[in-house]
């Protein structure tokens, strides 16, 4: 679950009321909502996303039509939220039939029944040997460097402020420590590397967290050599709950369960089918899935892909010890 970085200015809106329908949603969330009663609170409002904290402390997102399916997310048949009189701190009423939110005189009711269920299916990279993983990582790296957005894991943008330069340098240092400690199976080093990256960068999903999301997802795959990393990351998230934003922590927790935004899973599924491909063929196969991931946020997609490149290379190194 992600909020587009370009929308990270909160919206205070007035106007439209009425009933909306959920077009699709995370199947696990829909099942939870079908029997749920209670009162939650609006945590944040952005042009195309409303984040809500449910009374059972689950953070969920209501995204406008055209948004990606994602864990803990409903895609709602609305163009944007700017005219719905919804603001942070307002109460939200949950019943099995609907979600009601907005100012007392101008409610918006969202019907949940009938939404198409989205089931995030975990891919497997078991068919890829070390050579396949190397080819895939190199092809993906080439595409990210060619089309990705600087400002995070790719380094500073051309007009970077001193702060951006400092953050991108810290991100590069954190990645180097991360790779070294995972390769050497140094659990203490992995822990320190994660803490160096966690929460590093601006926005609701900082670049360091976006980078960690991909190795976290790979660690959940059957037979992954990154499984020990996943255990350490889960422990760090439990012990340092305030280290990053609530949204970002939820995204990492879901990735550790093999659940990620649909374009990210689609890309990993495509990677799983590239056994025996040469570099040019892998690059061609990945172009559209990579473009879809790059569309996530300002640099979030780029940073996730950078993490996937690193994760694939680490997986290649670790395969010999599986």
134, 96: one domain = no
| 253-285: burial string, b at 16+ Cβ within 10 Å, e else | bbbbbbbbbbbbbbbbebbbebbebeeeebbeb
User: Is residue 123 situated within a structural domain?
Assistant: no
Last residue of a domain, one of 66, 85, 118: 118
- 51 membership: H or E segment, kind and range: strand 49-53
176, 57: one domain = no
91, 151: one domain = no
Q: Rounded to an integer, what is the distance from CA 114 to the centroid of its chain? A: 26
86, 142: one domain = no
Domain count, the chain: 2
User: Is residue 125 situated within a structural domain?
Assistant: no
Q: For residues 203 and 79, which has the higher predicted lDDT (pLDDT)?
A: 79
37, 183: one domain = no
pTM of the model: 0.93
Last residue of a domain, one of 94, 118, 142: 118
pLDDT, one tens digit per residue, over 50-76 is 999 999 999 999 999 999 999 999 999
Domain assignment of residue 81, given as a range:
5-118
Q: 221, exposed or middle or buried, with CB in 10 Å at 0-12, 13-18, 19+?
A: buried
Last residue of a domain, one of 118, 138, 158: 118
* Residue 100 structure tokens: 């009601």
Percent of the chain whose pLDDT exceeds 90: 87
E-assigned strands of 65-139?
Answer: 73-76, 91-94, 98-101, 108-111, 116-118
* Residue 282 structure tokens: 């892998």
For range 245-260, the mean pLDDT: 97
Q: Report how far apart, in Å, the C-alpha atoms of 205 and of each of 7, 222, 250 are.
A: 12, 27, 10
User: Is residue 257 situated within a structural domain?
Assistant: yes
User: Is residue 300 situated within a structural domain?
Assistant: yes
Say whether pLDDT at 228 is over 90.
yes
Say whether pLDDT at 321 is over 90.
no
234, 152: one domain = yes
Enter the DSSP assignment of 153. Answer: T
User: Is residue 124 situated within a structural domain?
Assistant: no
10, 112: one domain = yes
Residues contacting residue 272 through CB under 8 Å, at least 6 positions apart:
123, 124, 125, 127, 128
Residues paired with 215 in a beta bridge: none
pLDDT category at 103 given cuts 50, 70, 90 is: confident
């Amino acid at each position: 679950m992600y909020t587009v970085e370009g929308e990270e200015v909160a919206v205070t809106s007035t106007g439209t009321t009425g009933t909306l329908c959920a077009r699709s949603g995370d199947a696990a969330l829909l099942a939870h909502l079908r029997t749920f009663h209670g009162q939650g609170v609006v945590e944040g409002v952005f042009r195309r996303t409303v984040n809500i904290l449910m009374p059972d402390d689950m953070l969920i997102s209501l995204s406008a039509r055209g948004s990606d399916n994602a864990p803990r997310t409903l895609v709602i048949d609305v163009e944007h939220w700017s005219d719905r009189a919804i603001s942070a701190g307002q109460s939200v009423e949950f019943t099995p039939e609907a979600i009601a939110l907005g100012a007392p005189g101008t409610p918006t009711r969202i019907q949940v029944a009938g939404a198409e269920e989205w089931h995030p299916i975990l891919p497997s990279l078991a068919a890829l040997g070390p050579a396949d993983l190397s080819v895939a990582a190199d092809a993906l790296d080439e595409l990210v460097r060619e089309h990705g957005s600087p400002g995070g894991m790719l380094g500073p943008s051309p007009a970077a402020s001193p702060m951006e330069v400092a953050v991108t340098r810290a991100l590069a240092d954190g990645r180097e420590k991360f790779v070294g400690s995972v390769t050497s199976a140094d659990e203490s080093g992995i822990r320190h590397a994660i803490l160096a990256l966690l929460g590093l960068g601006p926005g609701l999903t900082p670049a360091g967290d976006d980078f960690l999301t991909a190795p976290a997802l790979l660690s959940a795959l059957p037979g992954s050599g990154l499984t020990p990393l996943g255990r350490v990351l889960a422990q760090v998230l439990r012990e340092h709950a305030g280290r990053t934003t609530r949204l970002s922590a939820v995204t990492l927790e879901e990735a550790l369960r093999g659940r990620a935004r649909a374009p990210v899973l689609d890309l990993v599924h495509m990677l799983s089918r590239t056994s025996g491909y040469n570099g040019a063929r892998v690059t061609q196969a990945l172009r559209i899935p990579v473009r879809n991931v790059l569309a996530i946020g300002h640099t979030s997609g780029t940073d996730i892909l950078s993490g996937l490149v690193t994760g694939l290379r680490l997986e290649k190194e670790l395969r010999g010890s599986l």
